Structure 1
Amino acid sequence: MNRDAGRVSIFLAVAMVGVLALIGLSYDGAGQLRSLQRADNLAAEAARTGGQAIDRATAIAGGPKRIDERQARAAVADYLAAAGGVRRHTVSFPVVGGETLVRVRVEVTYRRSMLGLFGFGDTVTVTGEATARALTGEP
């Protein structure tokens, strides 16, 4: 009688688990990277949208072109609501060199497809951040 009978089946079963884990890591890793890229893109576009919200009354009167923070927050929130998929966002207005900028940080959640089967969490949250300056029509 052959003593090796059945050993190949056990080896293949164990090897298949490893192969499936590698496929899951590749698939979900790529999905997480796509989510990170989406978060960065959403933050950049939202910051640009906020940068367009200048204080018109002051600008028309010949004063400095500066960001209307209330309008910028509303514009960012509207853009991100329309884009969808954003879990949370924050808007801040740092001052750099005397100029007020718009900084947007967004969180996007990626739902893992395969790695959840191997004990990893079902979701992962990635963040994207971008800063923009007021658009005034001047170079």
Structure 2
Amino acid sequence: MITTALTMTLLVGLAVDLGGQVYAKQRAQDLAAQAARSGGQQLIASSSVRGVSARVDPAAAVAAARTYIAGAPGYSGSARVTGGTTVVADTHTTYTTKFLSIIGIRTLRVTGHAEVRVERVLEGVRQ
């Protein structure tokens, strides 16, 4: 009976902690997506206003994405611009287990990744 009770406790703990890890993963993924979106809104004004091209201002995009990530307690991350039109954001955090610490697993690493590509579209056609 004691073995069954311990096994059931570990199974419930596994479900709780893995569910918590999934939630933290979803949050990290959403945070990365929103940070990349925030960076993708930082366009080079002169070419964008003239309608020549839609290119990301690299310094402003990275700063905006990092600021967004910094606003989420417990999360850290990075951002970069590739190809002049793509903002890439990565986030990470650590989920502290509630039950798995019984068997020595105290934390689970969680990451998120997102990319946003800026495109110029005129009357439904990519330019």
TM-score normalised by L of structure 2: 0.86
Q: SS at 1:83's partner residue?
A: coil
Is the CA contact (8 Å cut-off) linking 1:52 and 1:135 kept in structure 2? no
Letter matched to residue 116 of structure 2: A
Distance in 2, matches of 1:84 and 1:137, equals 36
The aligned residue for residue 3 of structure 1 is: none
TM-superposed CA distance for 1:61, in Å, is 4.6
Identity %: 33
Q: What per-residue deviation string (whole Å, max 9, x for no partner) do you get for residues 63-95 of structure 1?
A: 422100100111011111223221x31212233
The aligned residue for residue 127 of structure 1 is: 111
Is the CA contact (8 Å cut-off) linking 1:53 and 1:134 kept in structure 2? no
Is the CA contact (8 Å cut-off) linking 2:87 and 2:117 kept in structure 1? yes
Matched, 1:13 2:5: no
Distance in 2, matches of 1:38 and 1:16, equals 33
Describe how 1:1-139 pairs up with structure 2 within 5 A: 12-86=1-75, 88-95=76-83, 100-120=85-105, 122-134=106-118, 139=124
Q: Which has the larger radius of gyration?
A: 1
Count of aligned pairs: 123
Letter matched to residue 78 of structure 2: T
Letter matched to residue 104 of structure 1: A
Instruction: Give 5+ residue unaligned stretches, structure 2.
Output: none
Residues 84/57 of structure 1: CA separation in 2 closer, same or farther (3 Å cut)? farther
Distance in 1, matches of 2:70 and 2:120, equals 25
Distance in 1, matches of 2:112 and 2:43, equals 24
Is the CA contact (8 Å cut-off) linking 2:86 and 2:118 kept in structure 1? yes
Distance in 2, matches of 1:17 and 1:135, equals 56
Instruction: Give 5+ residue unaligned stretches, structure 1.
Output: 1-11
TM-superposed CA distance for 1:101, in Å, is 0.5
TM-superposed CA distance for 1:34, in Å, is 0.4
TM-superposed CA distance for 1:129, in Å, is 0.6
